Amino acid sequence: MNVINKILSMKLMIFLISIFYLSIGYSQKWSFGIYFNGLNFHIKKPINPEHFHRALSKNKKLVYNGGFGFRIGYYLNEYGGITLTQAILPKDCANKMFIMSHVGVFISTSSLFNTKHEIQLIGGPTIFIRQSWRSLKDYESDNLMKLTKNKLWEYKYIWYGGFMEYKYHYNKTNSFGFHVTPGIPEIISLSLQHTNHFQ
């Protein structure tokens, strides 16, 4: 886990330094979002369907995994900004803990249309961490994640990870909507979100 800790620490440091530097000369506008995960659709046929709990379809492609997350966003201007996202699923498909950390930039449509609707496109480096599935009976490796040295966790780092998000601003400081993680070609995840905007 030392490598993972170093990566997370480095990303957090870059994020905090960026906020401090970029906030100079701008009128600060922040957002804090809470996320409720998550409906997951597996694009490919699952390799270990017998371990998929809470399946909503016979082919085990559609699964519900309850979890939560949060995002801190900083608007550099009316067109976009930078974000820090953290998601935690206490139990994934195989009833193992799953964690996702993301630092990125986003662009927003809020300045393009004078409506209460907003779409955000978010991209940046992402790391996925889960308790190892390799202890499961008859488990067949999907080769998606690397195993840590202590063999208790698996992880995957993607430098181009991203999300799509729709928000409906029902007043000047609050919005709600949904959040899509297009993990193509493996999985698509859907979450509900509520965001508070403040200065």
How many CA within 13 A on the CB side of residue 106?
Answer: 28
**Average pLDDT value over all residues in the chain:** 85
Q: What are phi and psi of 40, to 5 degrees?
A: -120, 130
Task: Give the right CATH number for 2-140+156-198 from 3.30.450.80, 2.40.160.20, 3.40.50.300, 2.60.40.10.
Answer: 2.40.160.20
Which whole number is the average pLDDT over 74-102? 90
Give pLDDT tens digits for 47-83.
888 888 899 998 999 999 889 999 999 888 878 889 9
For residue 122, pLDDT over 60 is answered with yes
Whether 40 and 64 have beta carbons less than 8 Å apart is answered as yes
Listed in sequence order, the DSSP H helices in 48-93 are: none
Structure confidence at residue 93 (pLDDT): 87
For residue 13, pLDDT over 80 is answered with no
CA distance 191 to 23: 30
Which residues are 66's β-sheet partners?
none
CA distance 80 to 88: 25
Angle at 131 between CA 125 and CA 137, to 5 degrees: 135
